Amino acid sequence: MHDIQNIVILTGAGISAESGLETFRAADGLWASHRIEDVCTPEALARDRALVHRFYDARRAQLDAVSPNAAHHALARLDADWPGDLLIVTQNVDDLHERAGGARLVHMHGALRSAWCLACDGRSEWHGPMGAAQAGDWPPCPACGARALRPDIVFFGEMPYQMERIEAALARADLFVSIGTSGAVYPAAGFVRVAAAHGARTLELNLEPSAGSGLFDDSRFGPATELVPTWVAEMTGRV
């Protein structure tokens, strides 16, 4: 275990499931009740800005009612204690890693608690609704005042955030761990291959076999709140 210096951890919706947030592809998941092309594409925003905001305003409001779970807290402990490089790359747009204390963190698909102004291109921390309270009454950008805010979420067809930083971390990783993701969406689903190609050991922690399970050196199946604290204890030698 001690030949491991640099770790990259990829998380998906499954790490937040036990906090009460829906995942995407479960039978009762978000993509069962919404069409991606209606709420998570640039075309959807251009076609029906109010609908896109309603979808993300509802998900942002949920954040006030949920808390980080034992998996988020275990990763935050590892992040605080690990002496080598460590990067948590989350596909999630919730704020549960931050609230658990994760510091070395990248939101590659954006974040619900961020607003992106299409007038000044600025990002601002955002709480509460971003849609128009009354028709046409769009909230102003905190930086420039323009009423041109969109959710700071990476839509399908858009480039994920901080890919250079992620690829550099994958190239140096001795261990790549994937937690709570179906391996359905690229480029995240390809990270295991990149890490392995650079000599990293790869581990999957997921509720059930995923599309990428065959690509990992090891897979453990079960709830994240059990698997992640156990794995972190193995890494830190502390229960």
Give strand pairing partners of 105: 88
50: annotated binding-site residue?
A: no
- CA–CA distance, 160 with 155 (Å, rounded to integer): 9
Which residues have a Cβ under 8 Å from the Cβ of 224 and sit 6 or more positions away? 14, 15, 17, 18, 69, 71, 179, 180, 205, 207
Q: What are the start-end ranges of the E strands in 55-198?
A: 86-90, 105-107, 110-117, 123-125, 149-153, 175-179
Q: Considering the complex, what minimum distance in angstroms separates the CB of residue 25 from ligand APR?
A: 4
Q: Hunting for tokens 């990259």 — which residue is that?
A: 8
Question: In terms of Cα–Cα distance, which of 166, 237, 155 is closest to 198?
Answer: 166
Which residues have a Cβ under 8 Å from the Cβ of 37 and sit 6 or more positions away? 43, 44
Q: Considering the complex, what minimum distance in angstroms separates the CB of residue 224 from ligand APR?
A: 4
Q: Considering the complex, what minimum distance in angstroms separates the CB of residue 85 from ligand APR?
A: 23
Contact stretch for ligand APR (CB under 6 A) within 57-65, 99-107, 126-134, 204-212 = 204-212
Q: Binding of ligand APR at residue 178 (CB under 6 A)?
A: no
- CA–CA distance, 117 with 113 (Å, rounded to integer): 13
Q: Which of 6, 178, 202, 206 binds ligand APR (CB under 6 A)?
A: 206
Q: Binding of ligand APR at residue 68 (CB under 6 A)?
A: no
User: Choosing from 53, 73, 107, 109, which is the catalytic residue?
Assistant: 109
Q: Binding of ligand APR at residue 13 (CB under 6 A)?
A: yes
6: annotated binding-site residue?
A: no
Q: Given phi > 0 = left and psi -120 to 50 = alpha, else beta, which region is 27?
A: alpha
Site for ligand APR in 77-136 (CB under 6 A): 91, 109
Token pair of 28, please?
Answer: 């009762």
Catalytic: 109?
Answer: yes
91: annotated binding-site residue?
A: yes
Contact stretch for ligand APR (CB under 6 A) within 18-26, 96-104, 124-132, 193-201 = 18-26
52: annotated binding-site residue?
A: no
- Residues in the site for ligand APR, rule: CB under 6 A? 12-14, 17-18, 23-26, 29, 91, 109, 180-182, 184-185, 206-208, 210, 223-224
Known binding-site residues for substrate equal 56, 59
Known binding-site residues for Zn(2+) equal 117, 120, 141, 144
